[in-house]
Chains A and B, each alone.
Chain A
Amino acid sequence: MRPLFQEVLHLYTDGKERSRAMVQDELRDVYGNFRAFRDHEMDEALHTAMSNGLIAESHYELDGEGKLVMYYQSDQDMIDLINNYIK
């Protein structure tokens, strides 16, 4: 079992686009009871990873409640970078 934030980044090594909610849906069974699994912490972790070039914004939209939903994706260089650090 990987630490939560490393597992989040590892998800993106398949090159698929995901929002924070989609990441949470995939990891909820294992990490759902972690305090760092809350929306705010996960949003900040994804934004920090983006600032450091491990993932990139792919697109964004407003949901039904007018809240911003960000989608992220990693290109091959980013995938190689993540794989270099996270086994």
Chain B
Amino acid sequence: MENLANSAAQQQAAVVKKARDKHFWKKGVFIAIFSGFLYGGYTSFMTEGMMHGVWNDIYAEVPTGVAAGVSAFFIVYTVSAIGAACVDIGSAIWSLFYGGCIGRLGDFKRTLGTKPGKILIIAAIIGGPLASTAYVIGLQMAGSIIVPIAALNAAIGAIIGKFVFKQKLTGGMILGIIICFAAAVLIGSSSMTDLNFSGGAALGCLAAFCAAIGWGIEGAVGGYACCMVDTEIAIIIRQCTSGLVNGVVLVTILSILGGDGVGSGFKVLTACLTDMPSMWMLFVAGVFSSWSFKFWYKGASMCGAALGMGCNGGYAFWGPFWCLIVCGLIFGHEGFMIPAVGWIGAIVMVAGIMILAISQNKATQQQD
């Protein structure tokens, strides 16, 4: 009789455990998808912010005001780093504030000196300033043909997850990643109006591939590190690192490379940081960035790099979608309509994510 009761209790426990595992998996997938959605918000507010206030002087046909007399190199490369720095510094301030509100600052300081903390710092430098700069260089040298090359980051993250962290990667999951990649190519292809195969194009494609590797490393490594570091702490480390490296190191290096002198870079950066008509939007972009990257890490740590980064890949659609809402509908700028191919790409991406998710779930069940 007692054995029967024990067996019934075990069966009941197994049912509850199965429901719990399913809930955890679904939560991970939802968080990873939501990270891509929030990335769209980050993109749209950054795009809109860089069309207001002091940015009008910087991007004028002949730069005026604080940017008067700077080189063409400065406008292309240094200004990109300054824009990223404004968003990342705003994001770091928000992340520190939010981390303080939820009681994470003590562990943030303690984590900085640990090995997982240092890994997160290195991943943030690789995926933040380095990959972003490589992406801008690629865009400038080869045009928007590099967009699909950069979209390889999810596939690279999955490969790193498989070989470095021994995560699952089945045939079905690879198919899902390929479909997601194809969808990103389809969405990106709508902006391919300036295809350019001149001398620098190959170098530009190489730079874009470096960006994809950088983002792949950050997604896989950052996600894995979050099984040892609270994601609320990981995001403070990520945004502070990215803000500091972009705002101090990268702006300095690019200012020197462009021959504009270090002073020019910091003068423009300070002007941008204190320009309220644009900075409030860049701060909002920073808040979106903080949540987006936090969920990117969390999704990858809960579902593995392949599924986490595949679900996040929806950013290729959410970026133009948010720009349509924010820049097009709210602020009334033209040129933000999504062509039919973009919507088709979004549907293809949903199919890819579903195949990826179902395959990963099947692989997990077979393992159990």
Which A residues contact B (CB, under 8 angstroms)?
1-6, 9, 34-36, 41, 44-45, 47-49, 51-54, 60-62, 66, 68, 70, 85-87
Residues of chain B contacted by A62 (CB below 8 angstroms): 9, 12-13, 16
Whether A54 contacts B228 by the Cβ 8 Å rule is yes
B331 within 8 A of A: no
Closest chain B residue, CB of each to CB of A44: B24
Partner of B230, one of A2, A3, A51, A54: A3
Known: A3-B107, A3-B110, A62-B13. A53 touches B166 (CB 8 A): yes
Q: Number of contact residues on B: which range applies?
A: 20 to 34
Q: Other CB < 8 Å A-B pairs besides A3-B107, A6-B116, 15 of them?
A: A3-B229, A3-B233, A4-B107, A6-B111, A6-B228, A35-B104, A36-B107, A44-B24, A45-B230, A52-B301, A62-B13, A66-B12, A68-B13, A87-B114, A87-B115
A-B contacts, 17 listed (Cβ < 8 Å):
A3-B114, A6-B228, A34-B103, A35-B102, A36-B232, A45-B230, A48-B302, A51-B301, A52-B165, A53-B165, A54-B227, A61-B10, A66-B12, A68-B13, A68-B17, A70-B17, A86-B115
| B159-172 to A contact mask, C-beta < 8 Å, 1/0 | 00000011000000
B interface, by DSSP: helix, strand, loop or mixed?
helix
Partner of A48, one of B114, B115, B227: B227
Q: How far is the CA of A70 from the CA of B16 in the complex (A)?
A: 11
Which B residues contact A (CB, under 8 angstroms)?
9-10, 12-13, 16-17, 20, 24, 102-104, 106-107, 110-111, 114-117, 165-166, 224, 226-230, 232-233, 301-304
Q: How far is the CA of A41 from the CA of B103 in the complex (A)?
A: 13
Closest chain B residue, CB of each to CB of A70: B17
Residues of chain A contacted by B114 (CB below 8 angstroms): 2-3, 6, 86-87
Q: How far is the CA of A86 from the CA of B113 in the complex (A)?
A: 11
